[in-house]
Structure 1
Amino acid sequence: MTHATPIPVAIFGKDPKIARSVCEKLLPDFEPIHVCLDLPTALRELPPLFAASSTNSTSPPPPASGLGTNAYTLDPAKHRAKVPQAVFFGGKFSDDEYHAIVDAVKRAVAAAATSTTASTSTSPFTAAEPSTTAGHLLGTSGAATGAGGSSVGAAAAEKPRTVHFIKVQKRDVLAAGSFGPNPDVICKVFRKKMAAAVDKAEREVQSERERQHLY
């Protein structure tokens, strides 16, 4: 699963050493832009990060962990304004922590979509963000509108973008042949699960298009 443009992702894990290694080994397919090492930090940093626009001038919140490319947002030469398209969970997370982060991110994404719809509906010329390699893989695409605003563009703005939540648990690592937290194995499992999630999203988008065509 190699792409010309790395897919930006956020990571929630509790071992900074493993997280650092995973960040390195996910390249070049994925760009880990933000790493959180505990729940309070994740709930504080991830929602505004996912609610951000990749075209605005506001710097995303730098990770308290110091890990990920957002750690360099204070350096103009290394500025990043990328919005992650997935959250990778790895390393001793609980079900409650997983659901808390998922719920917080989904609320932020939904609120951002509502805000986008409200702002674009007041302009006679609107355009969705251009599609990227990563966006195409995740079943999203850019759409421009002309004078008066297209209903297609409005519909795209109203629908929250897809975010994948990929978790790697101890049993996944064991099943992949490792008896401990091996970063190579963790990344292998991440890639496999992400590919499955992307494939599922693409099938759902295609099914929806076919359903709309029928009606």
Structure 2
Amino acid sequence: MAQPVVVCGRNPKVSEAVRANLVPEYEVIHILMSLEAAQADIPDLLSGKAPADPASNKGSQNYTSTPVAVCIGGGYDDNAFDSMRKASTGLAGVPWLRPDKSRLAEMPPRNDPEGYGKATAERIKVALDDLREQGVFGKDGVYLY
């Protein structure tokens, strides 16, 4: 069974490519495209509730399971990342993944959203697999992919 995750991105094409390339191991149940949406929806998702307006996202919208991780894209700076986590303080602990900016040179150019999204998904999948093997799902923490 695929593990549910949440993806926060800025580019819809990249986010959709990430979703397509995380399967079959991981199911992107919700894709968030703005800081405001992330601050509003992630607390609901981590509480096991569907967000107020689920139809607005390109995720599977399968809210039967709480996400095992929140994956943040490179379009969010440290302040945005911190405010997302702060909005979810005290809720179910999950790993929060963000890009390792020292590895950006390994990525395809951003003007190739499908290639960039596929490479991002591959890195996220490796990180999630490692975290699952370490028994980190269900525990709060920040990890790089």
Question: Residues of 1 paired with 2:86 and 2:130: CA distance?
Answer: 22
For residues 1-215 of structure 1, the aligned pairs below 5 Å read 5-52=1-48, 60-61=50-51, 62-63=53-54, 65-70=56-61, 80-109=63-92, 162-174=93-105, 177-181=106-110, 182-201=116-135
Question: Residues of 1 paired with 2:64 and 2:108: CA distance?
Answer: 37
Is the Cα contact below 8 Å between 2:108 and 2:119 reproduced in 1? Answer: no
Question: Residues of 2 paired with 1:173 and 1:64: CA distance?
Answer: 32
Is the Cα contact below 8 Å between 1:173 and 1:189 reproduced in 2? Answer: no
- Give the partner amino acid of 2:30: H
Pick 1 or 2: higher relative contact order, CA cutoff 8 A, min separation 6.
Answer: 2
> Is the alpha carbon distance of 1:21 and 1:42 closer, same or farther for their aligned partners in structure 2, counting shifts above 3 Å?
same
Task: Choose between structure 1 and 2: higher strand proportion.
Answer: 2
**TM-score normalized by the length of structure 2:** 0.78
In structure 2, list runs of 5 or more residues that go unmatched.
Answer: 111-115, 140-145
> Is the alpha carbon distance of 1:166 and 1:68 closer, same or farther for their aligned partners in structure 2, counting shifts above 3 Å?
same
Is the Cα contact below 8 Å between 1:13 and 1:35 reproduced in 2? Answer: yes
**TM-score normalized by the length of structure 1:** 0.55
1:28-77: CA deviation from partner (whole Å, max 9, x where unpaired): 0100001111111111111011112xxxxxx611446421011xxxxxxx
Is the Cα contact below 8 Å between 1:15 and 1:37 reproduced in 2? Answer: yes
1:132 equivalent in structure 2: none
1:133 equivalent in structure 2: none
Query: Percent identity at matched positions?
Result: 22
Is the Cα contact below 8 Å between 1:7 and 1:85 reproduced in 2? Answer: yes
- Give the partner amino acid of 1:99: D
Q: How much does 1:11 deviate?
A: 0.6
Question: Residues of 2 paired with 1:173 and 1:183: CA distance?
Answer: 13
1:150-206: CA deviation from partner (whole Å, max 9, x where unpaired): xxxxxxxxxxxx4111112443342xx32424122101110122223233436xx9x
RMSD of aligned residue pairs (Cα, Å): 2.2
Task: Choose between structure 1 and 2: higher helix proportion.
Answer: 1
Is the Cα contact below 8 Å between 1:50 and 1:108 reproduced in 2? Answer: yes
Is the Cα contact below 8 Å between 2:9 and 2:72 reproduced in 1? Answer: yes
- Give the partner amino acid of 2:64: A
Is the Cα contact below 8 Å between 1:173 and 1:186 reproduced in 2? Answer: no
